[in-house]
Amino acid sequence: MTKTPPRNSGNERARWQWYHYYFVLASVDLLVIAASLWLTHRTTRSYEIALIKLANTHTRQRWVAHLRLRVMQLNAPGNDVFETRRIAWEKARFDERLIALNTEMRRERNLEIDLSSFRGHLEHMIEQERRIFTLLETSPPGDPSRDGAATIEDASRAMAAMDRHQTDAITALTELEQEFLMRVESLLKDHGARVLSHGAFERVFIAIVGLILIGMLWYGRKLQQLHEQMTLAHQQAAAESLARLAAVGEVCTAVAHGIRNPLAAISSSAQLGLVDHRGNESIRSRLDDIVSECRRLDHRVTRLLGFASNASVAHETLDLRCVVDQAVAEIRNRLEERRIETRISFATEPFVRGDRERMVQCFIELLSNAAEFSPQPGVVTVECVPCPDRPEFVNVLIADAGPGIPPHIADRVFDLFFTTRSGGTGIGLASVKQTVQSHGGQVRIINASTSGARVQLSLPTVDENTARS
């Protein structure tokens, strides 16, 4: 008894392939978006860093230029005092500008500029300028004495030293400015190189994305063609199957009617003979054999007609446990003759919609096959459990301990007229498949092996409250 694992139809394979295609397409879209955002962030961040560095360098450069102006302003009172001869006023200007210069230089720490060389020259310049005011205060310009002339000469030398140190200090600041300009140029070059590198990477990325999209469009087209081919093949196979069943139905109907009429006459004659020969056991035994074989042949003809007619399913709510019990009861004598024990286990109480007679006959076929291939004595188990991946379905498993089904024929056991038994018709399991599918279910062999066969029926259930109402 058995059937093979259901082969995936072309449509099922096509659905999975289309599903994979759209999943991959969505994944590529997400990767493209993420990569675009990352590239945009990299470029924007590069611009931000370059602008911050340029702004900091520009701030330092302006501060150095402002500091140079302050130095020149600080140097002016020491030179102007020889012309204005207003010592106290020029010294006050000097003190005021010195305070402004010191205030300006307090920003040095925040700007992180090294002014050690500049500071040395500045201190010498301030020292010489203060000496000028000290000398002029002791002997102001215009003093005709010899000491006054010597003092003026010392003050002039101090002014020359002051101017020299001022030049050195300004030169140190100019060198800092040049360093800042070189840094700005280096920053611009680095940023330009980075932008070019990003541009090259983005071009490569765009090219790769373009190739991927072209490939996916090509792959999608191939999948579409494959889907169309499989759909066409499935339609052709379905049309061929319908045509074959129609032809089989016509032949079966003609053969069945041709057999049933003489069969009925033979059976009737044999039954009358049983009445006329009540005392002759030898003749009665032979007449019993004739009646039994007529019934068996009539049963086969009935099955053949039922399969060929493919009658519609009667909509009736069925207790699946009662259906199985009825099937076991109808073949109990056959099971007892072969010493076969049936063990029935239902983990749930399912109700199904369908045709009671056809469902009972379906389980009779499966149980009969299991009993026929089981060792004597043997056990046939019927187990009903909820379907793990489809809660609205139940799985009914029928298992035996017989020789099992060879894997190379497992896919064919539910085909019409396929049989491995001498004298078999190849109709029983085909009718099982037809009945189960007409009830919205599936039948398959869940393991093709040499240690017993396991046939699984998956049937849709109805709500228990609805079933009882």
Regarding predicted confidence, which is higher, 125 or 278?
125
> Which tokens go with 119?
């500071």
Do 200 and 321 reside in the same domain of the chain? Answer: no
> Rounded mean pLDDT of 32-46?
79
Regarding predicted confidence, which is higher, 230 or 278?
230
315-356 pLDDT per residue, tens: 788 898 999 998 888 888 888 888 888 889 888 888 998 888
- DSSP letters along 308-338, please? HHTPPPP-EEEEHHHHHHHHHHHTHHHHHHT
262-273 pLDDT per residue, tens: 877 787 777 777
Residue 286 has pLDDT above 70, yes or no: yes
Q: What distance in Å separates the CA atoms of residue 368 and residue 370, rounded to the nearest whole number?
A: 5
Indicate the angle between helix axes 356-373 and 320-330, nearest 10 degrees.
50
Q: What is the pLDDT of residue 403?
A: 79
Closest alpha carbon to 395 in 452, 454, 343: 454
Residue 5 has pLDDT above 50, yes or no: no
The single-letter code of the amino acid at 280 is: N
Q: What is the pLDDT of residue 382?
A: 92
Q: Is residue 281 part of a domain?
A: no
Q: What is the pLDDT of residue 384?
A: 92
Closest alpha carbon to 135 in 157, 151, 149, 124: 151
Do 197 and 329 reside in the same domain of the chain? Answer: no
Regarding predicted confidence, which is higher, 467 or 2?
467
Q: What is the pLDDT of residue 2?
A: 39
Residue 167 has pLDDT above 70, yes or no: yes
Give yes or no for a contact between 120 and 165, defined as CB atoms under 8 angstroms apart. no
Q: Is residue 461 part of a domain?
A: yes
Q: Which of 50-64, 136-150, 227-241, 399-413 has the lowest mean pLDDT?
A: 136-150
> Rounded mean pLDDT of 410-415?
76
Q: What is the pLDDT of residue 48?
A: 82
Q: Is residue 224 part of a domain?
A: no
> Rounded mean pLDDT of 427-455?
79
Do 197 and 322 reside in the same domain of the chain? Answer: no
Among 216, 244, 262, where does a domain finish? 216
On the 0-12 / 13-18 / 19+ scale of CB atoms within 10 A, 54 is middle
Among 216, 243, 276, where does a domain finish? 216
Q: What is the pLDDT of residue 6?
A: 40
Among 216, 234, 262, where does a domain finish? 216
Spell out the residues 6+ positions from residue 327 whose beta carbon is closer than 8 angstroms to its own.
Answer: 360, 361, 363, 364, 367
Residue 21 has pLDDT above 70, yes or no: no
Give yes or no for a contact between 84 and 90, defined as CB atoms under 8 angstroms apart. yes
pTM: 0.45
Q: What is the pLDDT of residue 109?
A: 64
> Which tokens go with 279?
């005392």
Give yes or no for a contact between 7 and 230, defined as CB atoms under 8 angstroms apart. no
Q: What is the pLDDT of residue 214?
A: 84
Residue 229 has pLDDT above 70, yes or no: yes
Do 106 and 212 reside in the same domain of the chain? Answer: yes
> Rounded mean pLDDT of 154-165?
89
Give yes or no for a contact between 81 and 133, defined as CB atoms under 8 angstroms apart. yes
Do 202 and 317 reside in the same domain of the chain? Answer: no
Regarding predicted confidence, which is higher, 95 or 426?
95
Q: Is residue 459 part of a domain?
A: yes
> Which tokens go with 368?
């009969």
**Which residues form the domain of 341?**
313-468
Other Cβ atoms less than 10 A from the Cβ of 363: the count is: 24
Q: Is residue 393 part of a domain?
A: yes
Q: Is residue 431 part of a domain?
A: yes
> Rounded mean pLDDT of 4-12?
40
Q: What is the pLDDT of residue 22?
A: 65
> Which tokens go with 465?
């409250």
Instruction: Quickly state the pLDDT bin for 164 (edges 50, 70, 90).
Output: very high
Q: What is the pLDDT of residue 4?
A: 38
The CATH number linked to 346 is 3.30.565.10
Residue 198 has pLDDT above 50, yes or no: yes
> Rounded mean pLDDT of 130-145?
75
Q: What distance in Å separates the CA atoms of residue 416 and residue 412, rounded to the nearest whole number?
A: 9
96-127 pLDDT per residue, tens: 988 888 888 777 667 777 788 888 888 999 99
Residue 10 has pLDDT above 50, yes or no: no
Residue 346 pairs with which residues in a beta bridge?
A: 384
> Rounded mean pLDDT of 287-298?
75
> Which tokens go with 241?
């199957």
> Rounded mean pLDDT of 239-252?
70
- CA distances to 65, 147, 374 from 336, rounded to whole Å, are 116, 152, 13
Other Cβ atoms less than 10 A from the Cβ of 194: the count is: 16
Q: Is residue 425 part of a domain?
A: yes
Do 453 and 338 reside in the same domain of the chain? Answer: yes
Give me the percent of the chain exceeding a pLDDT of 90.
6
Q: What distance in Å separates the CA atoms of residue 432 and residue 447, rounded to the nearest whole number?
A: 18
Number of domains making up the chain: 2
Long-range contacts of 162-166 (CB under 8 A, 24+ apart): 162/75, 162/78, 162/125, 162/128, 162/129, 162/132, 163/75, 163/79, 165/121, 165/122, 165/124, 165/125, 165/128, 166/71, 166/72, 166/75, 166/121, 166/125
Q: What is the pLDDT of residue 305?
A: 66
Q: What is the pLDDT of residue 89?
A: 92
Residue 17 has pLDDT above 80, yes or no: no
Residue 248 has pLDDT above 60, yes or no: yes
Q: Is residue 254 part of a domain?
A: no
Q: What distance in Å separates the CA atoms of residue 89 and residue 140, rounded to the nearest whole number?
A: 13
